[in-house]
Structure 1
Amino acid sequence: MVCFTEEQEYLVNSSWETFKKNIPQLSIYFYTLILEKVPDAKDMFSFLKNIDGIPHNNSTLEAHAELIFEMTRDSAVQLRAKGKVDVADDVTLEYLGSVHVQKGVIDLHFMVFKEAMLKTIKKAVEDKWSEELDCAWGKAYDELAAAIKKAMGWL
């Protein structure tokens, strides 16, 4: 059982709303950060394969970035309500685990994604960035990543 405070949930939810207002630009920034650290990760995404750079005005790229951030935001809500992460809707943890295994995801990828996510949220909220906000998003992401890793058979 993970303790996630009301304040942490509020911080994640409010910054999520700010992020959503500029998904096209922020999704490009997010994937640029990832590929700067792990250029080979490009081949893991159908919307980046066989393309030079990060495509602009790409609805698939934007939707994927939104999904990652939304799942992390949902994790914050679940942590506050239940003390654990359950992936809901059409996507199951088993499915996420199998896709991550199939794509060859390694622990480094999870670390790079977390770093890129935090930098993207920082860019989105600008002067509202704080240590507490960093911690809240980081904790929500870590719990989601742990749930996916468990579904991958790592934990």
Structure 2
Amino acid sequence: MFRIAEMIAVGRLAGAVALLAGIAGCGGGSGTPQSGGPTASHGGLLQPLPNSSGLVELAFEPVDPAAKGAKAKGRIVAYFSNPNGDGPPTASVSEVAFTDASGKPVALAEKASAGTGARYESPELTLPSAAELHGKLAGKIGGESFEVVNRPR
């Protein structure tokens, strides 16, 4: 009899803890931006550069957007902008390269950009999965080295 009462008490305690955790939340954000800050406009992941020197969006642009399948041909593209995301970076960008998750580096060359900011892209290549561009982007901005890890969800 004592065992059943003990189990009921533990069950009630666990239920109360679960209810409080649900009401209080986990302390994390919702994952959506709460301010009207810059957003990624090329389908990539927008990330800040060190020392508030600007933003970079890393994306994969397929040669044929209608192509289907696991392997995709296209270019790795890095878009650099100022910290507000509305113009070119505040300092010059150079020596840009992407290293994929397997450790293979690919140099990105500067290309003319029709929009605001600077555009760097790789030669045409084939990736195992264009949907998830995992690796790190490195280079220099204003003469200082930077490295940004890209891990899309």
TM over 0.5: no
Structure with bigger gyration radius: 2
Indicate the structure with greater strand content.
2
Q: Which protein has greater RCO, CA pairs closer than 8 Å, 6+ apart? A: 1
- Give the alignment's TM-score, normalised by structure 2: 0.24
